[in-house]
Amino acid sequence: MLYHPVKIGKLELSGNIFLAPVAGYSDRSFRSICVERGAAFTYTEMVSAEALVRNNLKTEILMRRAENETAYAVQVFGGEPETVADGAKIILEKTNCECIDINCGCPVPKIIKTGAGSALTRDPERLYSVVKAVVRIAGEIPVSVKIRSGWDENHITWKEAALAAIDAGVSAITMHARTRAQGYEGKSDWSKIKELTALAAGKIPIFGSGDLFTPEDAERMLSETGCDGIMFARGAMGNPFIFDKTIRLLTTGKYDEIPIQMRIETGFKELINLARDIGEKSACLEMRKRFCAYSKGMNGGAAIREKIVKAQTISDYKELFNLNNTGTDF
């Protein structure tokens, strides 16, 4: 069966459909919604090891567990082994997360310039040192990495990076099967995930990421690559229902579409959760992009999205979606 339990080190998870770390999106309000909809494991958006060492409060907020998360991972980035290890130590002191994930795939130039993100996929020796330092600090807590397939089409370095990570003691590897040069453009080469899965067989689980936008995509990746699980990233934005739809497809062969009203009400639940964390004003600004995604496919969607980007209060959103008289408690 394609949907099944999976282990990351000693961590036992009930399923193999995860929410990936997504910068600017996978805060605990959104992760909470994804858990409700069936995500077996979730990752925080990436946090800076250097910022943690400098006691940056905003960074600490990103690491907080959602109330309904039975297991989650904090993803950390950094290019210096000592700094990342110090950051990992702070993560363990300030959270009770079940896993620490090291970002070795971010293609953003300002991250790469520090030797972090996908710069680590290009530099297996540095990757080894970073992972080894974190594994030493983490003890019984499993450490995982998320890598890219390589730097560019002429430097496909996933194999060297994966072997370095395995030698350093990681408990799992996720591959986004694009190069750093591709960013989020072009096509994800799932054949690389298949090769990585074969390389790591009997050692650690491999999770796939990239171009997963429908339940059928997830089914196809699991079938074609043999990977142990998948992570939804952009495919879950405004669409947390993709988790239970995928589980239904994998276990029953079919799933139901989600009514527009349920999508909007779910967006409101996320808004309320976010407002509790960061305040109504900031939450309403952040939810503009998210409600644009939740409202996709609505009649008059373009006109609605024009109004969404002007909403400033919870009341504005309620009025916009005519939720004042629905009997739903927000």
**Which residues share a beta bridge with 173?**
145, 206
3-state secondary structure of 30: helix
- Which residues are known to be catalytic? 106
DSSP 104-138: E----HHHHTTT-THHHHH-HHHHHHHHHHHHHHH
Q: How far apart are CA 183 and CA 44, in angstroms?
A: 20
> Can you read off the two tokens belonging to residue 289?
């992009």
Nearest CA to 199 among 167, 221, 155, 231? 167
E strands, 1-87, are 6-8, 11-13, 17-19, 41-43, 47-48, 72-77
3-class secondary structure, 191: helix
How far, in Å, CA of 294 to CA of 237, rounded?
8
